[in-house]
């Protein structure tokens, strides 16, 4: 049985596949963290998990027979509980319902070496995941709304700027047209007296001729 099959096996008992997956992940994570931290996790009737230090030693390579030095290291170790051993050996039979493989632990006995309760740690892990998911959704919603408001404000500002530019352009065009018309009128005014003086010259010439 692998992890996926384990999740499927307990899905009906915990309310669904997702809840089962979260529960399995939370329990395994709590056990691993406790053992890495040097705590002993003991589950009554099932067994205990603990960290064991191995000193530096010499070993032999099974392929070549060469003697090899092995460095000091730490390894995890699982020791099956008596109830688990009895069921595996056959001295005790599994219940027909398949509900309880080992006897239920009394309240508060499902603890690690430093008094860490595995069930509580698993529950906290699931709650933390849900809270983190809610916060992430809220942040995404806020991020989506904020740019929309900024874009709308930018568009409004751009429209105002464009309208102002168009108005200024119209005023400038009107001023240029008025400036062009004014010199034309002045030039016409100057040309009119010139015609009158020509008429006077013509009259003077006629008078002299007489």
- What local confidence, expressed as pLDDT, does residue 116 receive? 42
Q: 3-class DSSP state for residue 201?
A: helix
Lowest mean pLDDT among 18-22, 39-43, 138-142, 198-202: 198-202
- Predicted confidence (pLDDT) per residue in 86-100, tens digit: 999 998 888 776 555
* Secondary structure (DSSP) of 116-142: -BHHHHHHHHHHHHHHHHHHHHHHHHH
Class of domain 3-141: few secondary structures
Q: How far is CA 153 from CA 115, 139, 145, 146, 161, in A?
A: 57, 21, 13, 11, 12
3-state secondary structure of 145: helix
Q: Which pLDDT score is estimated for 181?
A: 65
Q: Where are the domains of the chain?
A: 3-141
Radius of gyration of the chain (CA): 48
**Mean pLDDT value of segment 174-186:** 63
């Amino acid at each position: 049985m692998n992890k996926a099959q384990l999740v499927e096996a307990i899905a009906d008992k915990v309310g669904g596949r997702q809840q089962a997956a979260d529960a399995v992940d939370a329990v395994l994570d709590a056990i691993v963290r406790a053992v890495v931290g040097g705590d002993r996790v003991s589950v009554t009737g099932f067994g205990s998990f603990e960290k064991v230090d191995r000193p530096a030693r010499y070993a032999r390579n099974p392929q070549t027979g060469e003697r090899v030095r092995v460095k000091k290291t730490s390894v995890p170790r699982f020791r099956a509980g008596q109830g688990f051993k009895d069921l595996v050996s056959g001295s005790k039979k599994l219940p027909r319902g398949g509900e309880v493989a080992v006897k239920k632990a009394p309240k508060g006995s499902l603890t690690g070496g430093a008094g860490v309760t595995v069930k509580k740690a698993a529950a906290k892990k699931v709650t933390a995941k849900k809270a983190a998911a809610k916060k992430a959704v809220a942040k995404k919603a806020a991020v989506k709304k904020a740019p929309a408001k900024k874009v709308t404000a930018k568009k409004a500002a751009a429209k105002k700027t464009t309208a102002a530019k168009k108005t200024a352009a119209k005023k400038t065009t009107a001023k240029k047209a008025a400036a062009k018309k004014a010199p034309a009128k002045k030039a016409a005014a100057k040309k009119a007296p010139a015609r009158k003086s020509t008429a006077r010259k013509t009259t003077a010439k006629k008078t002299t001729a007489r």
